[in-house]
Amino acid sequence: MFHPPGPKAGWSSLLLGAFKIPHHRFILWLAILGKLATLDKPWLHHLGTSCVLCSAATLESHDHLFFLCPFASSCLCEVQRLVRFHWPYRNWVTSVHWAARRWRGKHVVNASFRALLASLVYHVWQERNARAL
């Protein structure tokens, strides 16, 4: 038997709708769940713990990778400048909940910001992986 659907996750609006490339959507989904293979995971400590994007001795986590790392921070600042938007938080979990509340619905502006977030997360993750090789 199939189970009835449960309640929707509060962040599901970030993954739904048009304008999102499947690769971007998948990486955003993993990031929202905290499942990207960042170096703060105990099973990856043998690879080191410092961020490959900035070489800081800081533990590479979702917060560091998407907000505190100078590389990602400069990407975010440039995007904010281009679209004239200020991202109010510097914490991954808080930012996801805020974005899901703020950018829900089918309006083209909301869909565009959701796609922009997915793209930013995807490209930061791709750059991190390219430098980790």
Q: How high is the pLDDT of residue 7?
A: 65
* Lookup: tokens for 116: 């922009």
d(CA 81, CA 93): 23
**pLDDT given for residue 49 in this prediction:** 66
pLDDT score at 93: 87
Show me where the domains of the chain are located. 48-133
Could you tell me the two tokens for 63?
């917060």
CB-count exposure of residue 30 (10 Å: 0-12, 13-18, 19+): middle
Q: What pLDDT score was predicted for residue 44? A: 62
Residue range 20-34, pLDDT digits in tens: 789 999 999 999 998
Handedness of CA 15, 16, 18, 22 (dihedral sign): positive
Rounded to the nearest 10°, the torsion over CA 37, 59, 92, 43 is 30
What average pLDDT values come out for the chain (133 residues) when binned by 10 residues?
68 77 92 84 65 80 87 90 85 89 88 91 94 82
